[in-house]
Amino acid sequence: MIEEGGPGGCPASREEPRVAHSRTLRFWLDPANIAVRLGQAGPVARTKAGPAVAFQVNDPSLLRKVGCGEDTFQAWSADPCLRDFTGSGFAGSEGQAHRDRRALMKPALAAPRLTALGPSVRDSTERLIADLPTDRPVDVPFEMSRLVAGLVIETVLNSTISPDTLTELARARSVLSAGVFWKYALSPWPWVPTPRRRAFRRALATLDEAAREVYVRHRPDADGNDVVSLLKRSTDDRPDAALHDVRALLFAGIEATASTFAWACYELGRHPDHQTAIRAEADAVLGTGAPADAVQPRLLPRTAGFVSEVTRLHGIPFLVRRPRQATYVGDQPVPAGALVTLPLGALRRDPARYARPEEFDPLRWAPEARPPLSPAALFPYGLGPRYCPGAAASEIMVPVALASLVRSRTLRTAPPGRTVRVSLELTPMPKGLTMVAATR
């Protein structure tokens, strides 16, 4: 059991939800534990959890070397065991083919083209949360998955899907996330039975249906240079490839961002003072008549700092690579195909980098804070050739949508004192988190 304190070192109230990690999986899910273990073990630590032997990279320079070394280290999404999931799109490709697909999408997802995204994110958020019940607790992971899926589809992919498909997609997210995690983790041992295979296939069919609806209902920008238009034109003779790319963008856009929103809701419930501060900031910036250039994250520093702190404490705990052939990581020999994990969560709780690393303190990211901190040090979008192609869109969408949510609703945990567990998925979610989203 792990209980996190509030700002200023105050212990968590008995009424606040507690975060619990499974004892057998604590090494994988608990970044604070990883930080301690790796700090004692040196630059590279050989570990064993169940059938998996992994090499944990603790040295930041080695972490970058492994994360960026595509010729030596294979990213998880390119593993053959995930071919049914990644299909023929960019997520499952490697080398020049992967770089070519990313280069194709880059102009459409670059920051200069997305400067006017803020107002559409605000308006879509308000519409998507309008039906949230106000008089009873809601399942936060599901509702945030639904919200994020709608935002990605409407504001980034320029499309729509039916309400029923959106609901089913939000429900499928956790099944897909957990299923991909276990398919990859157990790929060296294919004889080990994987539970819920049928549920995974149904969830993948839901993702396919959502991607098809996005593809068919897509509304191109006037210049025809939005991301789906570019993908369509590049694969006129191979529509399946464009569909697989849309599917990859859709899942990637939902997966990590939904986790960020769910954990943000958790922390908003624990810290009503921060909720009040974000609402005041949102009232000043997100008015309906605000010009497009005014609805930007740089004008929401309190909200952006809150998102950075959520990422620091609750972001994806590690990235994974496998060496293509036997190699060395530092002085440590690593066999071909072994798991090499890059423990980002441990770096985010390193006391040499962050004062009071176990405290939730969004003010450490304030522009006037000293020493100044860079959100880039969190590796929120990965690193190397697999850096998230939608990073620029996410950096606009997440703060604006969170501020819009807090501007409209007051979030409080229900029932108080409930233990929140961490799910074992690609991006850990607060399992069992229910909250009331009362009308402001």
Annotated binding site for heme: 388
Closest alpha carbon to 299 in 313, 286, 317, 318: 286
Q: How many CA atoms within 13 Å lie on the side-chain side of 209? A: 17
- Considering only CA atoms, which of 264, 263, 218 is closest in space to residue 404? 264
Residues 6+ apart with CB under 8 A from 352: none
Q: What are the two backbone dihedrals, phi and then psi, of residue 321, each rounded to the nearest 5 degrees?
A: -135, 160
**Rounded-to-integer distance, Cα 290 and Cα 292, Å:** 7
Distance in angstroms (rounded) separating the CA atoms of residues 164 and 162: 5
Under DSSP, the state recorded for 374 is: -
- Which residues sit opposite 55 in a β-bridge? 46, 340
Q: Which residues are annotated as a binding site?
A: 388
Helices 272-285 and 239-270 cross at an angle (nearest 10°) of 120
The CB density around residue 111, as the number of other CB atoms within 10 Å, is 12
The tokens for 267 are 């922390």
DSSP structure string for 223-275: TS-SHHHHHHHHTTT-HHHHHHHHHHHHHHHHHHHHHHHHHHHHHHHH-HHHH
SS3 at position 44: strand
Whether residue 3 contacts residue 18, with contact meaning beta carbons closer than 8 Å, is answered with yes
